[in-house]
Amino acid sequence: MKTTVIIFPGSNRDRDMIAAITKISGHVPKTVWHTETELSSTDLVIIPGGFSYGDYLRSGAIAARSPIMDALSNAATQGIPIIGVCNGFQILTEAGLLPGALMRNAGLTFVCREVKLEITNANTQFSSRYGQGEIIRCPVAHHDGNYFADEAVLKKLEDNSQVVFRYAEGTNPNGSINDIAGIINEQGNVLGMMPHPENLIEDAHTGDDGRRLFESALGLVA
Amino acid sequence: MTLFNARVTVTLKNGVLDPQGKAIEGSLSALGFAGVEQVRQGKVFAVTLNADSKKSAIQSLNSMCEKLLANTVIEDYAVEIVA
């Protein structure tokens, strides 16, 4: 299983992601710097959280125009699984690989806490180890996580069951429309989510609800 | 080639919630400014660029907005040559 983590100037959850993947899969992921132009053979690409380019212009906007993004876009077209967490989700929407946009949190403050997520589509390669409708714990830490899409896009997302994770009732931390916490693209191989599953994978994290996401994506037996 | 000074204004689309604008609106009311109906926060870019003509400068600026300066999912933009 070959995994790749893309790193941008200002990424800061890359080490958490590398540690999680290494612990879960037994393999150390390859890291690729944003100025590179190729993603050599890989089975899974991850864009970690952080504040690429200091969130200048808009969160993820500058990173989404980095040299590596053409290769990422090609990988997406080829059906290679891609996960963007937090800033990674922002970058994927800015790059047009996922629909919608992530705006300033409705409460205007940075939120760093645990939320509950409902698995609203367990029939994806990223969520197959969860039960449909299952409620899991997951940490969030962001300032711009307020998911927005216009009515037409939203209808399409809902009709196609592209909403994979929703903030469970009463835990929406940022005002996201339809309580959306994570979505996949139409093809089903690109996932973006604001919460951090990599920060809840073992006892030291007080739980491992995030672990099954990686087990699903890595095709590991639970 | 002529040097143009342009102003690009990017604002949230109508219908997109602008919590920062709302907070500013509330603060203006608190300061006693009566009659403020609405505040929408946006961004202004001062771009200095060389172009063959005013028309090509505007074309180029529109393209900059589509590709980077604005996120057209949530934002509108306006381009204006100021000098």
Does A152 touch chain B if contact means CB atoms closer than 8 Å? no
Q: Which CATH number fits domain B2-81: 3.10.450.50, 3.40.50.300, 2.40.128.110, 3.30.1280.10?
A: 3.30.1280.10
- Three-class secondary structure of residue A182 per DSSP: strand
Confidence of residue B19 (pLDDT cuts 50, 70, 90): confident
Q: Which pLDDT score is estimated for A20?
A: 97
Read off φ and ψ for residue B7, nearest 5 degrees. -125, 125
Model ipTM value: 0.87
pLDDT at residue A221, as a whole number: 54
What is the rounded CA–CA span in Å between residue A194 and residue A86?
A: 4
Distance CA B6, CA B16 (A): 26
Longest alpha-carbon distance in chain B: 50
Angstrom distance (rounded) from CA A85 to CA A194: 6
pLDDT digits (tens, 9 = 90+) for A51-70: 999 999 999 999 999 999 99
Q: What's the pLDDT tens digit per position in B51-65?
A: 999 999 999 999 999
Number of structural domains (chain A) is 1
Assigned token pair, A30: 């390859």
What is the domain range of residue A166? 3-218
pLDDT tens track, chain A, 222 positions: 899 999 999 999 999 999 999 999 999 999 999 999 999 889 999 999 999 999 999 999 999 999 999 999 999 999 999 999 999 999 999 999 999 999 999 999 999 999 999 999 999 999 999 999 999 999 999 999 999 999 999 999 999 999 999 999 999 999 999 999 999 999 999 999 999 999 999 999 999 999 999 999 998 754
**CA dist., res. B42 & res. B74, Å (int):** 11
A142 classed as catalytic: no
DSSP sequence for B18-47: -HHHHHHHHHHHHTT-TT------EEEEEE
Partners of residue A141 on adjacent β-strands? A112
**A58/B71 CB distance under 8 A:** yes
End-to-end CA distance of chain A: 16
C-beta separation of A119 from A127 below 8 A: yes
- Taking the Cβ of residue A100 and every Cβ of chain B, the question of whether any pair is shorter than 8 Å is answered with yes
Closest-CA distance, B72 to chain A, in angstroms, reads 9
Residues of B (53-82) whose Cβ lies below 8 Å from A: 67-69, 71, 73-74
| Residue in B19, B69, B71 closest to A104 by CB | B19
Catalytic residue check, A215: no
Q: How far apart are CA A163 and CA A105, in angstroms?
A: 19
- A86, A94, A138, A215: which is the annotated catalytic residue? A86
Asked if B19 and A58 come within 8 Å (Cβ–Cβ), the reply is: no
Decide: helix, strand or coil at residue A85.
strand
C-alpha R_g of chain A: 16
A and B: number of Cβ contacts within 8 A: 34
Read out DSSP for A8-42? -TTB-SHHHHHHHHHHHHSSPPEEEETT-----S-
